[in-house]
Amino acid sequence: MIEVKEALEIVAANSNAMPMQKIKVHKALGHVVAETIYSPISMPPFRQSAMDGYAFTHSIRHQYDIVGISQAGDHSNIKLKQNEAIRIFTGAYVPDDADTVVMQEHVMANTDSILIAQMPEKNTNVRPKGEQIGKGDVVFEPNTLLTPAAIGFLACLGITEIEVYKKPKVGILVTGNELTEPGKKLKKGKIFESNSIMIQAALETIGIKKTKVYRVKDNLKATKNALKSILKKNDIVLISGGISVGDYDFVKEELLKNGVEELFYKINQKPGKPMFFGSKKETLVFALPGNPASSLTNFYIYVLPAVKNKMGFSEIHKPKVVRKLNAEIKNNTGKTLFLKAKYDETDVTILEGQSSAMLNSFAIANGLVIVEQDAENIKNGQLVTILPID
């Protein structure tokens, strides 16, 4: 059995980024940039008007003759004299001679001249060329997550393909004779299988959408065969249940027989003690406890950072938050505790129902309060550390 800190270190040290792949920008949402991206153009590519109005050369003069028009998409080489302005629209090319745009609301306009009622300062309403980025400048460094805005930025620079890290293929193996698929009739002695759906949902929150689920009974041969196939096809294998010390827990034995190297088994924590972590070549294997709350707790603590490492994130751990505890916690277990909790701007409440089987409390929690193994008594009003969850 190892401590939480050591387990985290082993997971981080063994989960390297996936290989790179070239990908179309419109398909790259949720991927992480693998190679520095440079801008092929300046943005904006030319001096642009930021308003609908009139472009002119700034002076003390208030009256100007209108000598042309520049609509978005136009490009004219018009030369402006000191007393001349052109009608201009948002996003349109600003003539080289003009330095200022007055918005139309601040002008009294006739057909062929304007009187500026409210004079803007010089350079107002003109977006300089390259205001957002210059040609050849860095758009994104490696390890940047591609959000919708990032995709938009790449597209506005005319970039259509980039190098990202591949997303890992994740396979889930669910074990248990007692499990029934939700939607089917629940027979006596059975329960609905929830871990695979829950873990798929948790994976989706970081953009892992396609996860194949394999299901086996508590049967040595079936476990062996399923493992063989799932290990071959995935970069990360998540197993639910069968990893404890019961007579029908076959997972660990079969993992080792299938050539998975054990990196650790059992962690000094509650819930979530019976967990196995191992690897076979580049494939990572997490055998999570079957109890749903333990399974999800360990998913957040260990699996998520590993998935993020594989995806190429530089920050693999969510920033923790600190809040004032509004009750007392006693910990005489000698283990690290992860307590389902709800926090607000200032305080945190430990929820009723901390058993490793209980999802009712987890379902309304927004964080796990981390109680260090040697913190025997945390008093009401003390600050505690929370791992936020969503």
Give residues in contact with ligand AMP (CB under 6 A). 174, 176, 178-179, 191, 193-196, 240-242, 244, 246, 289-292
DSSP string, 181-215: -BTB---TT-EE--HHHHHHHHHHTTT---EEEEE
Taking the C-alpha atoms of residue 245 and residue 92, their distance in angstroms, rounded to an integer, is 71
Query: Which residue in the block uniquely carries the two structure tokens 């962690």?
Result: 267
CB-nearer residue toward ligand AMP: 54 or 300: 300
Does residue 278 touch Mg ion according to CB under 5 A?
no
Q: How far apart are the first and last CA of the chain?
A: 29
Give which of Mg ion, ligand AMP, none residue 178 binds (C-beta under 5 to 8 Å, depending on kind): ligand AMP
Q: Quick one: the chain helix, strand, coil %, rounded to 5?
A: 20, 35, 45
Q: State the minimum distance, in angstroms, from the CB of residue 185 to Mg ion.
A: 21
Binding Mg ion (rule: CB under 5 A), the pick from 53, 241, 278, 312 is 241
- Residue closer to Mg ion by CB (options 156, 191) is 191
Residue 39 or residue 291: which is nearer to ligand AMP going by CB? 291
State yes or no: residue 305 binds Mg ion (CB under 5 A): no
CB nearer Mg ion, residue 53 or residue 242: 242
Residue nearest Mg ion by beta-carbon distance: 241
d(CA 83, CA 100): 13
Does residue 176 bind Mg ion (CB under 5 A)? yes
Residue 292 binds: one of Mg ion, ligand AMP, none (C-beta under 5 to 8 A by kind): ligand AMP
Q: Which does 305 bind (CB under 5 to 8 A by kind): Mg ion, ligand AMP, none?
A: none
Q: Which is nearer to Mg ion, 168 or 242 (CB)?
A: 242
Looking up tokens 């938050």, which residue turns up?
A: 321
How many residues touch Mg ion (CB under 5 A)? 4
Residue closest to ligand AMP when measured from CB atoms: 290
CB of 237 to ligand AMP, least distance (A): 15
Under DSSP, the state recorded for 169 is: P
191 binds, among Mg ion, ligand AMP, none (CB under 5 to 8 A by kind): ligand AMP
Neighbours of 41 (CB within 10 A): 15
Nearest-angstrom CA–CA distance, 310 and 282: 10
- Cα distance between residue 9 and residue 137, in whole Å: 36
Q: What is d(CA 387, CA 54) in angstroms, rounded to the nearest whole number?
A: 54
